[in-house]
Amino acid sequence: MKTTWDIFCTVVDNYGDIGVTWRLARQLVAEHDLAVRLWVDDLGSFARLCPQLDVTAEQQWQQGVEVRHWAAEWQGAEPAQVVIGAFACQLPPAFVEAMARQPKPPLWLNLDYLSAEDWVEGCHGLPSPQANGLRKIFFFPGFTAKTGGLLRETSLLPRREAFERASFLAGLGVAPQHGARLVSLFAYENPQLGNWLDVLAGDTQPTHLLVPQGRILADLGHWLGEADLPVGALHRRGSLTVQVLPFVSQDDYDRLLWSCDFNAVRGEDSFVRAQWAGMPMLWHIYIQDENAHWEKLEAFLAVYCLGLSAAAGQALSALWRAWNMDRPMGQAWQALQPHWEEVRRHARQWCAEQAAQPDLATKLVQFYRNSL
C-alpha cells in the first residue's frame, strides 16, 4: 500500500507558495509512488499554474495528485502518514486534534522557506514538541548537504539539455533579431526598472526582453508610456525590444528560462528554477518588514559568488543589491558586462554542484523512512 502524504498550502505570494508545493506534490507521486493530497486555500491562483484545474471543485485529481480545496470552514479528513505544513501555515485545529488521536501519530513536518543563512543547518531537522504530545519538525530546503536540498525532478536537467530553443520561442511568437541577448523578466514592482531599461535601450548590443504577465507590467508600461500592455504587445526603443508574454505553465516557464541568456526572477520557486537553467540571473527577493530580506540576500550572494573572481563577484553582487535596494541599476548592469563570460560559466558550474546533491523530495522521503 502506498504511503499517504498531506501537504497544506496557504497562498501568500500569488504563485510562489503554491508553485513550490505543486511541484513537490507531483514529484512525490511521479518519482516516489506516494499517495499525495494537496490542500490549497486559493484555487484561483493555483489555476494560473495548472490551467486544467477546476476552481469550483472541492476534490479533484490532477497529474496523479489529489487536490482538495482548503475551505475556511474545515470539513474534516483523516490525516495521512506524513503531514507537511508548507511555509509555517497553520493547520486546521480539528485536523491537528485528529493527528493526535492516531494510534501512530503522523510525521509532521514544517517545510520552511529557502535560505542560505548560516543558522539553517543548525535548525534543519529540529523537533518542536507541541502541547498535545505531537512533534512538529522543521525541514529547511537549502544549498548544503546539511539541509533539505532543492526541488529538482530527475528528468529536469536531461530535458534542459535536449531542449530546442528556436521551436519553443516560435510557439510563443518570439522572433529575436540576430545577435540579440534574450532576457526574461519576472519581478515585483521595482522603481529601478526604468533606469535599467534606459541602459539596455542605449546599448550597442540588442536586447530582447521577454516579460510574462505579472506585477512588473505597470512599471514597464510607465516606462513605455503605455497604459495597457496586453499579451503579445511588442515595443522597440533603441536597441531594446520588449515583448509581453502570457502567464505560462510551470513547465513552459522552465523552457523560457532555458531559452534566455539572462533571467530576472522573483520569490522562491522561479529563483530555484533559474538556478537549474544554468544561466546568469538576478533575484528579486520577497520584501520583508524592516528590510529583513537583505540578510537573506547577502547570505545567498556569499555562497553563490564563491568561485568567482573578486571583481566578477563584486560586480554581480552590486547588480543584485541595486535591484533589491533601490540603487542605480543601469550603472550596475554596465559594470557587470566585462565579466559576462565568467558569470555565465559560473552559473553552469553552480547548477552542476547543486545537482550533485540529493533533491528536496528525495530528502523528505528519506527523512520519513528514517523516522520509522
pLDDT tens per residue, range 29-56: 999 999 999 999 999 989 988 999 999 9
Classify 362 as helix, strand or coil: helix
Please give the average per-residue pLDDT across 134-146, as a whole number.
96
Does 17 participate in catalysis according to the annotation? Answer: yes
User: Are residue 139 and residue 171 in the same domain, yes or no?
Assistant: no
Tally of structural domains, the chain: 2
User: Are residue 133 and residue 184 in the same domain, yes or no?
Assistant: no
d(CA 168, CA 170): 5
Beta carbons of 316 and 305 less than 8 angstroms apart: yes
Residue 315 vs residues 276, 339, 350: alpha-carbon distances, Å:
22, 8, 17
| Catalytic annotation, pick one of 6, 219, 268, 359 | 268
**What confidence tier does 290 reach under pLDDT thresholds 50, 70, 90?**
confident
Report the pLDDT value the prediction gives residue 33, as an integer from 0 to 100. Answer: 97
Q: What are phi and psi of 178, to 5 degrees?
A: -60, 130
User: Are residue 122 and residue 24 in the same domain, yes or no?
Assistant: yes
**pTM for this one?**
0.95
Beta carbons of 295 and 285 less than 8 angstroms apart: no
**78-100: pLDDT as tens digits:** 999 999 999 989 999 999 999 99
User: Are residue 33 and residue 80 in the same domain, yes or no?
Assistant: yes
| Catalytic annotation, pick one of 6, 17, 41, 254 | 17
What is the span of the domain harbouring residue 188?
156-355
Report the pLDDT value the prediction gives residue 13, as an integer from 0 to 100. Answer: 64
User: Are residue 140 and residue 161 in the same domain, yes or no?
Assistant: no
Does 31 participate in catalysis according to the annotation? Answer: no
User: Are residue 167 and residue 71 in the same domain, yes or no?
Assistant: no
Instruction: Report the CATH number at residue 163.
Output: 3.40.50.2000
Nearest to 280, CA basis, from 213, 195, 356, 344: 344
